[in-house]
Amino acid sequence: MSDRPAILVTGGAGFIGAHVCKALAAAGYRPVVYDNLSTGHAANVRWGPSVFADVRDRATLSDTILRHDIAAVLHFAASAYVGESVKDPLKYHDNNIGGMIGLLDACRQTGLRRVVLSSSCATYGHAGPGPIVESTPQVPINPYGFTKLACERMLLDHVAAHGMQPAILRYFNATGADPAGELGEAHSPETHLIPLALLAASRRGPPLAVFGTDYDTPDGSCIRDYIHVDDLARAHVLALGHLMQGGGPLTLNLGSGRGVSVLQVLDAIARVTRRVVPFRTQPRRAGDPATLVADPRLAAARLGFVPRFQDIDTIIAHAAPWFGHEVRHAATA
């Protein structure tokens, strides 16, 4: 057993979890991946040991925590597609709320107190056009957002009852890829805007369906706050460091504070790849609010966290090679 603190990373074989494991290892921790491989990839597990099991399996989870002398858990394991959650809510209730029950029970049984919870801007619902602060009312409009809000509340109930140390991190739209090129995004099926648009541009996928151009936004398409996955990973290491030093509870937005519309993403892809994204306009996707943009100031104040990759062209330039593009834009330099 190494003297580096062991950190349990549920969902560590997934897109965000794997980037976080790499950042944890670089920061001197020992990531222990716990993943059922339902959407993650075993090939993403490269920075420590792994247990391939489900978070709802409380006995295996407790055993893993004790066997690896886990100092903190970062909980990513969840179903995370807004559109799918509208069509199949029970899957989300089962995986996400069921998974949280499994995790909290294992924490209680083993005495594990430090929990970093992967939450989402989807908990805010129709928050309006302005930047969203952490005290903005959380009124989710899709089952995915509801399950993430439920997980937040469950964690806070356990904090009150058992004196745990929580960090709730509400991500905006995670995207991009490891700047060193070791990890990228590979969902199956892929549903996210930037990967699908890059696949459409390289003709590896069908023309992009733009879901709605009749929103109350300047160009009529939805506005999101895209945060580079490498920045997101760094924010997790900072939040973990805060808890390891005995810091108090955190609830933080993780976003860049800049809103980019779907049509602006397509323009950025054309600039970066020199390929036009073929698209057709479709009706709105159920469960999508018009605008979600973070006010990122609290994360800056509490953790000193400021995203390094601020502009959308750079974020796309890092993602593009994973989807068949040779990137010539200066942003990759």
Is residue 210 near ligand UDP by the rule CB under 6 A? yes
Q: Which neighbouring-strand residues pair with 277?
A: none
Q: Which of 196, 237, 272, 317 binds ligand UDP (CB under 6 A)?
A: 196
CA distance 197 to 200: 5
Could you tell me if 134 and 296 are in contact, meaning their C-beta atoms sit under 8 angstroms apart?
no
CA distance 182 to 137: 38
CA distance 172 to 294: 7
Catalytic residue among 34, 124, 144, 215: 144
The stretch among 5-13, 146-154, 207-215, 236-244 that binds ligand UDP (CB under 6 A) is: 207-215
DSSP for 216-239 reads SSTTSS-EE-EEEHHHHHHHHHHH
Site string for ligand UDP, 67-86 (x = CB under 6 A): ---------------x----
Is residue 272 near ligand UDP by the rule CB under 6 A? no
Is residue 103 near ligand UDP by the rule CB under 6 A? no
Q: Which of 23, 115, 193, 266 binds ligand UDP (CB under 6 A)?
A: 193
Q: Is 144 a catalytic residue?
A: yes
CA distance 257 to 293: 6
- Tell me which amino acid residue 215 is: Y
Q: Which of 191, 202, 281, 332 binds ligand UDP (CB under 6 A)?
A: 191
- Tell me which amino acid residue 94 is: D
Q: Which of 170, 224, 234, 318 binds ligand UDP (CB under 6 A)?
A: 224
Provide the CB-side half-sphere exposure for 243 (13 A, CA): 26
| Shorter beta-carbon distance to ligand UDP: residue 8 or 319 | 319
Could you tell me if 32 and 8 are in contact, meaning their C-beta atoms sit under 8 angstroms apart?
yes
| Shorter beta-carbon distance to ligand UDP: residue 192 or 329 | 192
Could you tell me if 178 and 22 are in contact, meaning their C-beta atoms sit under 8 angstroms apart?
yes
Is residue 262 near ligand UDP by the rule CB under 6 A? yes
| H or E stretch covering 182 | none
CA 31 to mean position of chain CA atoms? 17
CA 15 to mean position of chain CA atoms? 8
The stretch among 9-17, 180-188, 191-199, 322-330 that binds ligand UDP (CB under 6 A) is: 191-199
Q: Which of 23, 33, 222, 240 binds ligand UDP (CB under 6 A)?
A: 222
Q: Which of 4, 93, 187, 285 binds ligand UDP (CB under 6 A)?
A: 285
Is residue 192 near ligand UDP by the rule CB under 6 A? yes
Q: What counts of helices (H) and strands (E) characterise the chain?
A: 11, 14
Is residue 208 near ligand UDP by the rule CB under 6 A? yes
Indicate which residues carry an active-site annotation: 144
Q: Footprint of ligand UDP on this chain (CB under 6 A)? A: 82, 173, 191-193, 196, 208-211, 222, 224, 262, 285, 288
